[in-house]
Amino acid sequence: AAFALKSDEEKNTFKRRFQEKKIHQEIVDFIFEDKNLFQILVKVSKDLFDACVAEEKDLNRAQSARINGNELFKSKDYKSAILKYSEAILYSPSFQNSTTFKEHLALSYGNRSATLFHSSKYSEAIVDIDEALQNGYPLERQFILFHRKNRCLKYLQMYQKEEQCTRSSADSINCENMNNQIPIHLKQPMIQTAIGENGYEMPKVNIKSNELIKQASDAVEMKFTVQKGRYICAKRNIESGEVVMIEKAFASWLKPSLYTKYCTHCFHPVDIIFFPCPNCISVRFCSVTCRKEALKQYHLVECPVLSSLKRLSNGHLALRIIMKAGIQNALNMINKPEIPLEKWLSTNFDTNYESLYSLPDHIENRQYENLCPDANGAVFLALFAHKMKLIDGNNIRKLAALLLKHISQIECNVMSIAKEKVNFTGTMGRKRYFPQTEELGFGIYPTICLLNHSCDPNVINSFSDIYAISTVVEDVAKGEELNVTYGPHHKRMSYKDRQAVLM
């Protein structure tokens, strides 16, 4: 709108002055100092913030779902009962100062644990039992949960923990005054046993670790040239099929249309058994651990404004990178002298903020038509973050510059995270893998981002939840560079089409 009000001469002057700015802070300062443009960004950020509507809990719907679940349980339709109990858990208020609300949530977890037990899902039942206890399950009925947990552990052949559970159950039953406070040993989850409780886990692949590149195997090393920057090459001969990198995304963004199908934290599929946010009904988690990590790292502050943030994709991911790093830690990084790229050859490179910060953003090569909207978006998002009370007014410009850096990094480093069905094709001379993919979202992987592009790559990336796995698909000689395709492949696209995509 601000540009529409400018004359052609004013637009040309704006473009010329904008292109004179070479660093992030100068670019965003230029946006701040254009009064008309800045006023519009202030208004848009305020309007969008004020329009945020969190999808709230609904006790009536939760109660209705639990009653329906009870009927389905009685008829032994356990799968449908689990679905209804999960719905009751999703809509049950949990953080209000109301014993009734919390007790309803606890009863829903307790009922789902019973259904899971009868479905032979003993590990999952244990998690729900612990959740029921933590949320205030009625003390006079807790012995039922302990007995159920005891039986689950027995089926799982966890005899030592079964004995511990038996003692706790006895303590509960022998409590002289049922109206007293819950015994101290019940205030924490008694036993951490469930398979899914720890959330996502690193895929089990036997590789020897690299001393400097923490997410890579000892088969590779980092090199540097002025023309290429940093890149990865073979430190020894590598055989086809060998895994050379496994890395968890530093930060990720799940497509909003998939919020009900995948864990928003680790991208693991969620079906009828999930753990909701305690405050909203928008997102789902596959485990208690994923929920705890997400709430601590970003979701607790995102939750009230997610209806607006989720539309911003790259901007949302950039803000999430900063929240995960810690706002003040990230802002402090701006003032630190950057490590020269060649120095990274002898510096530990890991999936941390310092390594991510060192990734190139190629801002000097970005076209005005792409960079200008991103700069406006960074200023808007900094103003929005101020509304979220993530920063004070003195740091808005600084945050905008940092957001522009990360948005630009995302443009050239982000990886699409996909659910894949890999097709093996051996009819093209050298063996190639062409996966059929369903894009779930995207993530930033500092280590794997060091792999350069080739239209005839010798490495492919696949995914296990938010873990990316880099596998060599042909024998690679010592000293040879490892590379992946950024999309274009010479077997699927013409040279002209590949150049058009990559330019």
What percent of the chain shows pLDDT beyond 90?
Answer: 66
Looking at the structure, tell me whether residues 169 and 227 fall in a common domain.
Answer: no
CATH number of the domain bearing residue 470:
2.170.270.10
In a domain, 162, yes or no: yes
Q: What is the pLDDT of residue 161?
A: 56
* Residue 429 confidence (pLDDT): 35
Confidence of residue 184 (pLDDT cuts 50, 70, 90): very low
More confident residue, 36 or 501: 36
Same domain, 141 and 97: yes
Quick check: is 479 in a domain?
Answer: yes
67 lies in the same domain as 120: yes
423: pLDDT strictly greater than 50: no
Same domain as 156, residue 229 = no
Is 317 a member of any domain?
no
pLDDT at 409: 96
Place of tokens 């405050």: 279
Return d(Cα 66, Cα 51) in angstroms, integer: 32
pLDDT of residue 317: 97
Is the confidence at residue 478, as pLDDT, over 70? yes
Same domain assignment for residues 170 and 239: no
Say whether both 171 and 239 belong to one domain. no
For residue 167, the enclosing domain spans 59-186
Is pLDDT at 213 greater than 70 in this prediction? yes
pLDDT for residue 421 is more than 70? no
Nearest alpha carbon to residue 136 among 116, 108, 171, 115: 108
pLDDT greater than 60 at residue 247? yes
Higher local confidence (pLDDT), 274 or 102: 274
Going by pLDDT thresholds of 50, 70 and 90, the confidence category of residue 339 is confident
Check whether residue 91 and residue 163 sit in a common domain: yes
Beta bridge partners of 220: 234
Last residue of a domain, one of 134, 163, 186: 186
Q: How many separate helices (H) and strands (E) can be counted in the chain?
A: 18, 12
Residue tagged 């004020």 (tokens)? 50
Is 229 a domain residue?
yes
The pLDDT of 126-137, averaged and rounded, is 94
247-256, 370-379, 455-464: range with lowest mean pLDDT: 455-464
Task: Name the band, by pLDDT with cuts 50, 70 and 90, for residue 204.
Answer: low
Domain membership flag for residue 147: yes
Q: With bands split at pLDDT 50, 70 and 90, how would you rate the model's confidence at 347?
A: confident
- Cα separation, 278 vs 300, in Å, equals 9
150 and 224 share one domain: no
Q: Residue 501, class by beta-carbon neighbours within 10 Å (0-12 exposed, 13-18 middle, 19+ buried)?
A: exposed
Which contacts qualify for 497-502: CB closer than 8 Å, 24 or more apart? 498/455, 502/453
**Whether residue 145 sits in one domain with residue 92:** yes
| Same structural domain, 156 and 70 | yes
Residue where one domain finishes, among candidates 167, 186, 205: 186
Q: Please tell me the predicted confidence (pLDDT) of residue 188.
A: 33
- The residue ranking higher by pLDDT, 10 or 124, is 124
Residues 158 and 227 in one domain: no
pLDDT at residue 30 tops 90: yes
**For 88, which DSSP code?**
H
- Same-domain status, 229 and 129: no
Confidence at residue 61, expressed as pLDDT on a 0 to 100 scale:
95
Q: Please check the confidence at residue 320 and state whether its pLDDT lies above 90.
A: yes
Of the candidates 92, 84, 90, 93, the residue with the CA atom closest to the CA atom of residue 66: 84
- Per-residue pLDDT band at 169 (split at 50, 70, 90): low
CATH number at residue 119: 1.25.40.10
Least confident span in 90-94, 143-147, 353-357, 389-393: 90-94
Rama region for 119: left / alpha / beta (φ>0; ψ in -120 to 50; rest): alpha
Four-CA torsion 161, 166, 169, 174, nearest 10 degrees: -140
Arithmetic mean of pLDDT, 102-111: 92
Classify residue 402: in a domain, yes or no: no
> What is the spatial distance between Cα 172 and Cα 137, in angstroms, rounded to a whole number?
12
Q: Establish if 174 belongs to a structural domain.
A: yes
What are the φ/ψ torsions at residue 98 (nearest 5 degrees)?
A: -140, 120
In a domain, 313, yes or no: no
Q: What is the number of domains present in the chain?
A: 2
Consecutive H or E run containing 502 = helix 495-502
Q: Is 110 within 8 Å of 137 (Cβ atoms)?
A: yes
Last residue in a domain, options 133, 164, 186? 186
- Of 162-166, 286-290, 328-332, 373-377, which range is least confident? 162-166
Q: Kindly report the pTM of this predicted structure.
A: 0.85
**Average pLDDT, stretch 256-280?**
95
Pairing of strands 452-453, 483-484: parallel
Can you tell me the mean pLDDT for 99-127?
91
Average pLDDT rounded to a whole number, residues 266-292? 95
